[in-house]
Chain A
Amino acid sequence: SYDLTQPPSVSVSPGQTASITCSGNELGYKYVSWYHQKPGQSPILVIYHDNKRPSGIPERFSASNSGNTATLTISGTQAVDEADYYCQVWDNSSWVFGGGTKMTVL
């Protein structure tokens, strides 16, 4: 099965730029999606197809994917962005999630 690796946690100061990585074998050949999830809530799609934002997602969310690493970047991080973030790919008829990254804004 395909594995996606994320750092367990990242921290960022308000107004700064946060980066969350997601690693996998030849990940650049796959489409990566990103979700954020706040405690007790359902996940929300923030990026699909490597770098596309669904309607309603702020422009401060951007992403890239190349080689073995995809990166979600949050510019001008706000307190409301504090959440768990998950990367996800489709691989061989399965949908695979990374282990998640807890982002703290402090």
Chain B
Amino acid sequence: EAQLVESGGGLVQPGGSLKLSCAASGFTFSLSGLHWVRQASGKGLEWVGRIRSKTNDYATAYIASVNGRFTISRDDSKSTAYLQMNSLKTEDTAVYYCATTTIVDDAFDIWGQGTMVTVSS
């Protein structure tokens, strides 16, 4: 069964850093793009960014509000992707999901369970 498992969430002060991990199993991780999507409490889903496969040069893309602060990377040997978050702001507080697209490139068919990130002093 295809699965994604996030870890690394927690409480961090504004201006601090946090690194999330997303461990994949049950599908060919190295061939798949990996995305991060967040959801603030009581709010909707917001795509954060993605990293493509080696075939696509590990290209990354981000929403404007995190560009320059967040970095997505991956280690295909460990079937794991990462979200490095720096200069965190209170508005970054959310549940962070990793998700992937194994059916088509524009729809997320596998999601992790999410990890909570709270930015507060």
Chain A interfacial positions (CB closer than 8 Å to B): 1, 31, 33, 35, 37, 42-45, 48-49, 54, 86, 88-90, 93-100
Contact = CB atoms under 8 A, between A and B. Distances in A.
Nearest to A86: B45
Contact of A43 (B50, B103, B111): B111
B112 A42 contact: yes
A49 B113 CA distance: 24
> Interface SS of chain A: helix, strand, loop or mixed?
strand
A99 B109 contact: no
B7 to A, nearest CB: 15
A9 to B, nearest CB: 13
B107 A97 contact: no
B35 A54 contact: no
B45 A100 contact: yes
A88 B107 contact: yes
